[in-house]
Amino acid sequence: MLLMYVKVFLVGGFICMLGQILIIKTKMTSARILVSFVVAGAILEGLGLYEPLINFAAAGATVPITGFGRNLAKGVIDAIKEKSALGIFSGGLTATAAGVAASVIFAYIFALIFSSKSKNTK
Amino acid sequence: MKKKIGNQTIIFPSKPCVIGFYTVGGIKEGKGNLQEYLDFILEDDNFGEKTFEKAERKILEETMTKAIEKSKLKPEDIDMLVGGDLLNQIVASSFSAREFNTSFLGLYGACSTMAESIAVGACLIDGQFFKNVLCSTGSHFSSAERQYRFPLELGNQRPPCSQWTVTGAGSTVLSDKGSKIRVVSSTFGKVTDYGIKDVNNMGAAMAPAAMSSFVAHFEATNTKPSDYDLILTGDLGKLGSEIFIDLMENKNYKMGANYSDCGHMFFKNNQKTFQGASGSGCSAMVLNSYVFKQMQKGKFKRVLFGATGALLSTTSSQQGDSIPGICHVVEFEGGHE
């Protein structure tokens, strides 16, 4: 049980650390880093490399944005098996529908509750 | 009488006077090195307004109104408003100007706006076209982040080479008489571009512009850096001012202990702004608080103030263009009040 927490922390933390290095060492904007993480997750899933990572670290691999890319790819692969070529278009969104809808709904709710403030006023 | 000396420099024989000035700073700005010099420090960066842009406008309006009060003039005595800001279509300035029943000249010089508006204002007075000119500019951290970088709601991290756009504004009332702080001469800058493309490293993009204008000013007025009590560059920041010192040295001008940079001196080291302050409010606040107050006390007699601006837009940098810089230099003289 405790070992699982350690594995989740290490793998999730490592993925986030890659993002932090990109922010500090390159001129990439956060949007580009985000998109490349999604694409990287999709490619790794396509090559069959992301599944073992999830088996090893569970949420440590599914929660970072690379997990979203993995879901897109996995959705497409599964849908192709079911509905052949049509699955290329429907699979990705079907698999990620819950995540996308949840982010829209929560973003809306929190935008209603809170207003933006200046950051770091120290 | 010939008032233009050199290619870019003009002198003002009538020496227009600085008769009033006022600054407002945000919360973080009020904890920096200007703390004791700022006239008013906000308790809320929104200044009671609903949006950052409205707050920016209100801050600017406040400095304009209070600068007129401090100059002991009435609002109707002001015959011209000169100024600008960083928002698209300089809306903070033009919307503020509708509160005053006075002619308005909107300028866009990015962070060089304070020097640009004082130079233009001094021309208008020295030419005897106008009697009292109000010069003002400001900026707001949160509206600048939204416009030039990312909206704060995105929760983006700032890269280590970035500067902190200040929240605050400064206004100066210039007049044909009435004070010992006077505008002596000014050099209008050329747009200079060394091909820097990194929007997070504006200091490096603006340093060559500062070098070009300061060299032009020293040559035209036949002076050297040691002739001044204080030499200020706009908001080059830590890295940018180091580049500026090197560039000046290549031109055989040694910048000594009397040199400082508004962006570099603005915040304390532990305030985590990385390269220092920026924004048109930065040099406006340093000039209208620290510099003029020290001139009133007689600590500085001869001051060279060169505010620098990066003349990019978000579209130009997204399309891969480099960042042109500009620097306008204004020379002040003054003594005890």
What range does the domain containing B167 cover? 4-175
Reported pTM: 0.91
- Indicate left, alpha or beta for B154 from its phi (over 0: left) and psi (-120 to 50: alpha): alpha
Is B169 in the same domain as B191?
Answer: no
Is B222 in the same domain as B155?
Answer: no
Q: What torsion, rounded to 10 degrees, do the Cα atoms B44, B47, B52, B53 define?
A: -160
Is B137 in the same domain as B96?
Answer: yes
Each residue of B47-105: pLDDT tens digit?
A: 999 999 999 999 999 999 999 999 999 999 999 999 999 999 999 999 999 999 999 99
Question: Could you tell me if B67 and B287 are in contact, meaning their C-beta atoms sit under 8 angstroms apart?
Answer: no
Is B303 in the same domain as B189?
Answer: yes
Alpha-helix residue ranges (DSSP H) falling in chain B: 27-30, 52-70, 91-97, 113-126, 141-148, 202-221, 237-250, 262-266, 280-286, 292-296, 314-318
Q: Which of B126, B152, B175 lies at the terminal end of a domain, its last residue?
A: B175
Give pLDDT, residue B15.
96
B→A contacts (Cβ < 8 Å), by residue, are: 26-28, 31, 45-46, 50, 52, 141-142, 150-154, 156-157, 159-160, 167, 198, 200, 271-272
Q: Which residues of B touch A117 (CB under 8 A)?
A: 45-46, 152
Of A29, A30, A116, the CB nearest to B152: A116
Query: Domain residues of chain A, as ranges?
Result: 2-113
Question: Could you tell me if A33 and A27 are in contact, meaning their C-beta atoms sit under 8 angstroms apart?
Answer: no
Question: Could you tell me if B18 and B179 are in contact, meaning their C-beta atoms sit under 8 angstroms apart?
Answer: yes
| Tokens standing for residue A31 | 């949007």
CA–CA distances in Å: residue B250 to residues B100, B218, B244, B308:
47, 15, 10, 20
B182 bridge partner residues: B17, B333
Is B270 in the same domain as B143?
Answer: no
Each residue of B20-54: pLDDT tens digit?
A: 999 999 999 999 999 999 999 999 999 999 999 99
Is B207 in the same domain as B307?
Answer: yes
Is B137 in the same domain as B237?
Answer: no
Exposure of B213 by Cβ count < 10 A (0-12 exposed, 13-18 middle, 19+ buried)? buried
Is B123 in the same domain as B42?
Answer: yes
Question: What is the rounded distance in angstroms from the CA atom of residue B107 to the CA atom of residue B188?
Answer: 13
| Residues of chain B with confidence (pLDDT) below 50 | none
The CATH number for B121's domain is 3.40.47.40
CA–CA distances in Å: residue B235 to residues B188, B231, B243, B308:
17, 13, 13, 6
Distance from CA of A76 to the nearest CA of B (A): 29
| Tokens standing for residue B261 | 């940079």
Is B187 in the same domain as B139?
Answer: no
Q: Looking at the complex, does the CB of residue A113 fall below 8 Å from at least one CB of chain B?
A: no
Is B13 in the same domain as B131?
Answer: yes
Question: What is the rounded distance in angstroms from the CA atom of residue B287 to the CA atom of residue B307?
Answer: 10
Q: Which of B128, B156, B175 lies at the terminal end of a domain, its last residue?
A: B175
Q: Which of B155, B175, B195 lies at the terminal end of a domain, its last residue?
A: B175
State yes or no: pLDDT of A120 exceeds 90: no
Is B165 in the same domain as B201?
Answer: no
| Tokens standing for residue B149 | 């970088």
Of A24, A30, A121, the CB nearest to B150: A30
Q: How many domains does chain B have?
A: 2
